[in-house]
Amino acid sequence: MWQSGRRPSDFSAEIDAHIELEAERLRQEGLTEAEAAVAARRKFGNVTRAEERFYESGRWLWWDHLTQDIRFSLRNLANAPAFTAVAVLTLALGIGATTVIFSAVYAALLKPLPFANPGRLVAVWKQNPSHGWTWNNVTPAELVAWRDESGAFDDMAAFAPTSCVLTGGGEPEDDPCEQVSSNLFPLLGVSPIRGRVFSADEGRPDSARVVILSYGLWQRRFGGDDRIIGRVIEVNNLMYSVVGVMPEKLPHSYAPPDLSAPALWVAGLTLSPTRFWNDYVGIGRLKAGMSVTAAARRMDAVSARLTGQYAVLTGWNPQVMSLRREVSGDIRPALAVLMGAVFFVLLIACGNVANLLLARGVARAGEFTMRGALGATRGRVVRQLLAESLLLALAGGVAGIVVAYAGCKSLIAAAPPVLLNSAPGLATGVGDLRVLVFALATTLATTVLFGLTPALQGARPRTASARLDAGRPSLRRVPIPPARSTLIVSEVALAVIVLVGAGLMVRTLAGLNRADRGFSAAQVLTLRVSLTGDQYATPLAQEQFLERAVAGIKALPGVDAVSVSRGLPVTGWAGLLFITYDHPNPPSGNWPDANYVVVGPDYFRVMGIPLRRGRTFDGRDIEDAPKVVIVNEHLARTYWPGQNPIGKLLRVGPPASPWRSVAGVVGDVLTRGPEVGRLSEMYLPYQQYPWLMVPEHMVVHTAPGVAPASVAHAVTDAIHSADPRVPVADIEPMERIVRESAGLQRLVMNLLLAFAGLALVLSALGIFGVLAYTVSQRTREISVRAALGAPPRALLHLVCRDAALLTGAGLGIGLAAAFLLTRLMAGLLYGVNPADPLTFGAATVILGCTSLLAAFLPARQAIVADPGLALRHE
């Protein structure tokens, strides 16, 4: 019935034409001009009626009603600016916060990885249950066996994160890079924007040296050179030809989130069945239809055979998980907590808007009755209210998108790298339309449902016994309607849950900050140097450079002490097996292991690690001197309980390695964080050229009052004057490294605090709204009581009692729910029980005070009002 696009004016013109034609005919039949006109019109009948019938059959009626409804709604909303502003703001904050967090959750946990058939990609690791070691790197031998014998995989690739020093032309630089098996990119299904990926030949150890550049490196170091393919560049002092350039947006999401994206990829990782280096991260592509658990079972069978064949693989089982899960990493619980909290905030926001709409509906009961009396049909009133609700939701939605956009930007700015690496899509802004649609739909449903409730009640013909003064104060005792009390109780309950969650995170952060990590990060600057190439092929050359650099830095003003190390507290953990002379044959699969740190003299002084027994390293500990080691208290206690550890012997590395005697015992450093606790650690002097490790870190302790970051330039210059070709990377104050280690907890805490603040304000607004409403309903009752001599205290009690009851009920339910829910976030907490009484108490007090304050304002207004005035006002 709406397909006609004809305008009413056209219809009227046709009727006019008809009447003229008819009059003309009548004139021809002999009537006078005037008679003909009258007769024609009479014969036509009721013109207006015809026009109305046309109008009612067309879409114009519908359109007119719509524009009328919208105009009227806009006027209504503009006439209640406080209501409109609060409602729109509440909706905007609810929608915005939900969208931001759900975007992060979607990007980090759910969004399919941007590879070909990502559902079939798995990460392959191994575990050693007898040591409690999990997610260890794998050997090429295992990868080949799993790939070829399990029958679960189409293919398997591997990569090894490492660092590459670029020299020749420009400043030397030290970049993260990956050595990859030549089938990695085909397996993922990614292609380069220039050149090609590695060929199968280039996986062989003796093949030509080739490299693929990241877009960033190509632009930055090579100025986006158009003829980059085939160019020869110097990597780790060897010549490599560039064969490809990867696209700018190549996601690094095939790797665990704690690895940085590489600047370049080097070929040459050989998947050889006879190689047993535990250096590789494996990625497999499952056969179509193969599940991860089925694949794991088949791999177990293969490993059982391997273990029998090679002693070095004894005790190791495969560990496999979908790549999607792997990339999500450890942020799953954090995001789950945030998602829960933001969902509660959204519910509170919806509750508030519902409350506002209900209050407004009651206040407008008279208006609806009046409109009904004037002939508005029920449908017409409902439609008008629907328009009003929709407008409100629309305004809230638009404002919510703005909030979401800004929120995503600040989340990205505040997010620790581990979140950004897990959620590659997050960096591009509001990730997903579905998220926004979800939040919009929730609020839309709320506004429409609660916006219409009064309409459906108000539009009932018998409403309020057709009292036009409905909504005005009366002397009757007015209870708070049950719908509104339920909303308030729920809001308070939800707010207290979020508040408790935020409180627990505050306590966690405080605990982490307070925790004694066994070293002092203050005044310490750390940096990394990479000694590569022919000139540093010998340990002596490395030592000479490091001594020159240390001397140069030590001479700088503002520097107290300098040392070198391989491995830093917090970020570095290199667990290695060792044996003690007292127990040279530990049971297979149960070897002692410890963090293996190679240090220079003064390391303990720079890091503030206390010496407990014996001595620290000094000039005596050179290559020809007796080999020594320093252990931490935990190691000494574990392996030589009740004995003097000084002089005890231990050995690390292959059987040909020397026995080392314990020269000293130092305090425990909580390298893997306070959450993990004390572990065995050993320190070896770098000047005795210990097995495997060359120092790569330098640690600088600055004088009191000198900020570590302020000497960064001078330190870099001092290193470059020792050798200008050595790149200096990762210059960071140790305090920042410590702070960033709690980055995820800090982000969760900040967001939960923000949500708790929001929840608190919203629920306070809700209580304020309901109390203001009941007070306005009870003005007359209160005035009469006041006039009869009731003391203000009694009146205050009268009003606040409702608020106290509602808040009390909400607190009770909320605390009980929080008690059950906070257990789910135990994994994020440190140093605080999920049922921490202090946190629960504080949340109760904060919420209780806030709601009483919210109740007090309207109550006070009622009491100070002049009773006479209030009564006359009736």
Partner 1 sequence: MSTQDTNRLELLQGTLDLLILRTLIFGAQHGQGIARAIQQTSGRELLVEHGALYPALQRLEDRGWISARWGTSATNRKARFYTLTAAGRKQLAKERTKWKRLVAAIDRILGPELAGG
Give the footprint of partner 1 on this chain (CB under 8 A). 1, 3-4, 6, 11, 13-15, 17-18, 20-22, 24-25, 39, 42-47, 49-50, 53-54, 57-58
Q: Indicate the residue among 9 and 465 with the shorter CB distance to partner 1.
A: 9
| Paired tokens of 383 | 């439609």
Residues 542 and 530: beta-carbon distance below 8 Å = no
Q: Indicate the residue among 21 and 312 with the shorter CB distance to partner 1.
A: 21
Residue 832, SS3? Answer: coil
For the bound state, the minimum distance from the C-beta of residue 191 to partner 1, rounded and expressed in Å, comes to 54
Q: Indicate the residue among 18 and 736 with the shorter CB distance to partner 1.
A: 18
For the bound state, the minimum distance from the C-beta of residue 375 to partner 1, rounded and expressed in Å, comes to 24
Residues 135 and 336: beta-carbon distance below 8 Å = no
Q: Indicate the residue among 10 and 874 with the shorter CB distance to partner 1.
A: 10
* Main-chain phi, psi angles of 253, to 5 degrees: -80, 20
For the bound state, the minimum distance from the C-beta of residue 14 to partner 1, rounded and expressed in Å, comes to 5
For the bound state, the minimum distance from the C-beta of residue 67 to partner 1, rounded and expressed in Å, comes to 22
Q: Indicate the residue among 48 and 465 with the shorter CB distance to partner 1.
A: 48
Q: Indicate the residue among 31 and 805 with the shorter CB distance to partner 1.
A: 31
Question: Over 541-568, what HEC string results?
Answer: HHHHHHHHHHHHHHCCCCEEEEEEEECC
Kindly give the pairing relationship between strand 697-702 and strand 660-666.
Answer: unpaired
Measured distance CA(583)–CA(591) in Å, rounded: 10
Widest CA span in the chain: 141
For the bound state, the minimum distance from the C-beta of residue 59 to partner 1, rounded and expressed in Å, comes to 10
For the bound state, the minimum distance from the C-beta of residue 16 to partner 1, rounded and expressed in Å, comes to 9
Q: Indicate the residue among 21 and 116 with the shorter CB distance to partner 1.
A: 21
CA–CA distances in Å: residue 652 to residues 131, 167, 191: 17, 34, 43
| Paired tokens of 164 | 């590459």
For the bound state, the minimum distance from the C-beta of residue 377 to partner 1, rounded and expressed in Å, comes to 22
Q: Indicate the residue among 19 and 101 with the shorter CB distance to partner 1.
A: 19
Cβ atoms within 10 Å, residue 67: 11
For the bound state, the minimum distance from the C-beta of residue 28 to partner 1, rounded and expressed in Å, comes to 9
Residues 153 and 284: beta-carbon distance below 8 Å = yes
Q: Indicate the residue among 40 and 594 with the shorter CB distance to partner 1.
A: 40
For the bound state, the minimum distance from the C-beta of residue 78 to partner 1, rounded and expressed in Å, comes to 38
Of 492, 513, 589, 529, which Cα lies nearest the Cα of 722? 529
Measured distance CA(676)–CA(220) in Å, rounded: 40
For the bound state, the minimum distance from the C-beta of residue 13 to partner 1, rounded and expressed in Å, comes to 8
The residue type found at 221 is R
Measured distance CA(547)–CA(556) in Å, rounded: 15
Q: Indicate the residue among 6 and 460 with the shorter CB distance to partner 1.
A: 6
Q: Indicate the residue among 43 and 583 with the shorter CB distance to partner 1.
A: 43
For the bound state, the minimum distance from the C-beta of residue 22 to partner 1, rounded and expressed in Å, comes to 5
The residue type found at 105 is V
Q: Indicate the residue among 24 and 866 with the shorter CB distance to partner 1.
A: 24
Query: Is the torsion defined by CA of 194, 199, 201, 205 positive or negative?
Result: positive
For the bound state, the minimum distance from the C-beta of residue 414 to partner 1, rounded and expressed in Å, comes to 60
For the bound state, the minimum distance from the C-beta of residue 379 to partner 1, rounded and expressed in Å, comes to 23
For the bound state, the minimum distance from the C-beta of residue 34 to partner 1, rounded and expressed in Å, comes to 16
Q: Indicate the residue among 47 and 729 with the shorter CB distance to partner 1.
A: 47
For the bound state, the minimum distance from the C-beta of residue 15 to partner 1, rounded and expressed in Å, comes to 6
Burial of 291 per CB tally in 10 Å (0-12, 13-18, 19+): exposed
Question: Over 307-351, what HEC string results?
Answer: HHHCHHHCCCEEEEEEHHHHHHHHHHHHHHHHHHHHHHHHHHHHH
Buried b (16+ CB within 10 A) or exposed e, 9-33: eebeeeeeeebeebbeebbeeebee
Strand segments, DSSP code E, in 667-791 are 681-685, 697-702, 728-733
Q: Indicate the residue among 57 and 588 with the shorter CB distance to partner 1.
A: 57
For the bound state, the minimum distance from the C-beta of residue 821 to partner 1, rounded and expressed in Å, comes to 59
CA–CA distances in Å: residue 480 to residues 477, 486, 771: 10, 10, 9
Q: Where do we find the tokens 């599940």?
A: 291
Q: Indicate the residue among 58 and 256 with the shorter CB distance to partner 1.
A: 58
Cβ atoms within 10 Å, residue 277: 12
Buried b (16+ CB within 10 A) or exposed e, 181-192: bbbbbbbbebeb
User: Under 8 Å CB-to-CB from 68, ≥6 apart: which residues?
Assistant: none
Q: Where do we find the tokens 């990460």?
A: 123
Q: Please give the span between the terminal C-alpha atoms of the chain, in angstroms, as a whole number.
A: 51
For the bound state, the minimum distance from the C-beta of residue 380 to partner 1, rounded and expressed in Å, comes to 23
Buried b (16+ CB within 10 A) or exposed e, 672-693: bbbbeebbbbbbbbbbbbbeeb
For the bound state, the minimum distance from the C-beta of residue 17 to partner 1, rounded and expressed in Å, comes to 5
Measured distance CA(676)–CA(700) in Å, rounded: 27
Q: Indicate the residue among 47 and 842 with the shorter CB distance to partner 1.
A: 47
CA–CA distances in Å: residue 113 to residues 324, 325, 354: 7, 10, 39
Q: Indicate the residue among 53 and 325 with the shorter CB distance to partner 1.
A: 53
Q: Which residues pair with 632 in a beta bridge?
A: 666
Q: Indicate the residue among 49 and 75 with the shorter CB distance to partner 1.
A: 49
Of 374, 480, 562, 425, which Cα lies nearest the Cα of 801? 480
Residues 555 and 527: beta-carbon distance below 8 Å = no
CA–CA distances in Å: residue 363 to residues 356, 465, 708, 799: 11, 16, 64, 20
